[in-house]
Amino acid sequence: MADETTPFVVCYTGEHPPAAVCDRAAAAGIFLTPLLGDLAGERTEDVAARRLSQLRPRGYVINYPHGPYLSAALVDAAECLGIVSFMGPSLALEDHVRFMDVEYLLERGVLLTAAPGCTTISVAEGTLALLLAVNLGLVMANQACKAGLIWQRTRPTLCGASLGIVGMGNIGQRVARLAHALGMRILYSSRTRHWQIEDDLGAQYVDLPTLFEQSDYVSIHSTAALTQGLIGRELLSRARGVALINTADATIVDPDALLEALDRGWIRIAAFDDRYPPPHQARFDALGDDRFLVLPFISWDTPHYRERGWELCLESQLAFKEARPVPYQLVRPSSPEAR
């Protein structure tokens, strides 16, 4: 076990932190050390276990999507480990089971934190990009132009159209403000009502069936752990030619229901910044670009995300080191803090 004389080493996965973060950590007596560095030629888990045993870190930062799954074996190798910070926005424990053995870490008394808000600006801008691309027919127009074909299609303006937002968290609120600046009418459905957004933007709080019935565009910003399969046939069948934007987890939308909705015209086009797990994605890949657009989960990955994510993770690590209340701790999805 660690004591006051043990150096406060924090291992991290992925890219090196920004210089400002390194300087702040060093000034606070925190030694930021890459888990794997340039080591190669062995199984990642073996290298990680050996490094953790040698370095005896007090803290650990998971820089998504890099590094090995933080298994019970790796936790045991890091015998002094007291806090793990995940560089992602969700505070819901269940959203992190893909990256770490959450239950074992809790059993060992390790604090778990995240970086809420670190992707807000990046993902909101990615959402707006998909919204504009879908409305303009950007991909199809580009293909036609390069093929020497005439592309002419009357399209509606976003100004005056209605945008339904599923999940009015940090990202949903920023998307709402961006869309409102374009002149769009905002509807939203969320577990928590947001009066400030209603006052500022004239946004209307509705249930999900009403949202799909009255929206021209729908954008999804829910936490996967709370809403997997939330959008199914019953909701999609209420839509009338809606353009569906999803920069959250693909599995929030039932894949079979979405295929039917695209076939029947309930959804005229869907644009996702995430792929379905096999075998579902293959069926969507077979669709034309006029019906389904997909990006490889890239909206979040910007310099702003990395800078903000590291700042929040370091804040939690430093609080733990100084025996202060640790901010941004993960909670069960039923807790209000997870929303």
Cβ-count burial 133-153 (b if 16+ within 10 Å, e if not): bbbebebbbeeeeeeeeeeee
Confidence of residue 227 (pLDDT cuts 50, 70, 90): confident
The CATH superfamily of 8-118+303-338 is: NAD(P)-binding Rossmann-like Domain (3.40.50.720)
Residues 6+ apart with CB under 8 A from 116: 89, 90, 91, 170, 312, 328
Tokens of residue 1, six digits: 């076990």
Looking at residue 268, what is its pLDDT? 97
Report the share of the chain in percent with pLDDT over 90: 79
Give the chain's end-to-end CA distance (angstroms, integer). 35
Instruction: Quick: pLDDT tens for 231-259.
Output: 999 999 999 999 999 999 999 999 999 99
Looking at residue 223, what is its pLDDT? 77
Order of strands, sheet of 111-113, starting from the edge strand that comes earlier in the sequence? 30-34, 8-12, 59-62, 83-86, 111-113
Q: Point out the least confidently predicted range of 34-48, 124-138, 269-283.
A: 34-48
> Rounded distance, CA 175 to CA 165, Å?
8
Confidence of residue 40 (pLDDT cuts 50, 70, 90): very low
State mean pLDDT over 59-68: 89
Confidence of residue 3 (pLDDT cuts 50, 70, 90): low
Confidence of residue 66 (pLDDT cuts 50, 70, 90): confident
92 - beta bridge partners?
Answer: 331
Q: Point out the least confidently predicted range of 21-35, 57-71, 156-170, 180-194.
A: 57-71
Confidence of residue 299 (pLDDT cuts 50, 70, 90): very high
**Hey, do 8-118+303-338 and 120-294 end up sharing a CATH topology, with the first three levels equal?**
yes
State mean pLDDT over 258-279: 96
> Rounded distance, CA 279 to CA 311, Å?
38
> Rounded distance, CA 289 to CA 66, Å?
30
> Rounded distance, CA 193 to CA 305, Å?
27
State mean pLDDT over 220-234: 85
Q: Point out the least confidently predicted range of 257-266, 268-277, 327-336.
A: 327-336
Instruction: Quick: pLDDT tens for 92-135.
Output: 898 899 899 999 999 999 999 999 999 999 999 999 999 999 99
Residue 156: other Cβ atoms inside 10 A: 9
Check residues 334 and 299 and name the one with the higher pLDDT: 299
Torsion of the alpha carbons at 78, 84, 87 and 93, rounded to the nearest 10: 120
Q: Is the pLDDT of residue 290 over 60?
A: yes
Preceding peptide of 65 cis, ω within 30°: yes
Q: Find the DSSP H helices in the chain.
A: 19-27, 44-55, 72-77, 102-107, 120-136, 138-146, 170-181, 195-201, 208-214, 224-227, 233-236, 255-264, 280-285, 303-321
Q: Of 101, 37, 25, which Cα lies nearest the Cα of 66?
A: 37
The SS3 call for residue 116 is coil
Exposure on the CB side of residue 120, measured as CA atoms within 13 A: 16
Kindly list the domain boundaries of the chain, sorted by start residue: 8-118+303-338, 120-294
Confidence of residue 225 (pLDDT cuts 50, 70, 90): low
Q: Of 281, 212, 219, which Cα lies nearest the Cα of 245?
A: 219
Q: Is the pLDDT of residue 274 over 70?
A: yes
> Rounded distance, CA 172 to CA 178, Å?
10
Contact 205, 250 (CB under 8 A): no
Q: Is the pLDDT of residue 1 over 70?
A: no
Best mean pLDDT range from 54-68, 84-98, 149-163, 178-192: 178-192
Tokens of residue 33, six digits: 């050390």
Q: Is the pLDDT of residue 339 over 60?
A: no
Looking at residue 46, what is its pLDDT? 87
pTM assigned to the model? 0.90
Instruction: Quick: pLDDT tens for 309-334.
Output: 999 999 999 999 999 999 999 987 65
> Rounded distance, CA 290 to CA 140, Å?
7
Output the CATH code of domain 120-294: 3.40.50.720
Q: Is the pLDDT of residue 335 over 60?
A: no
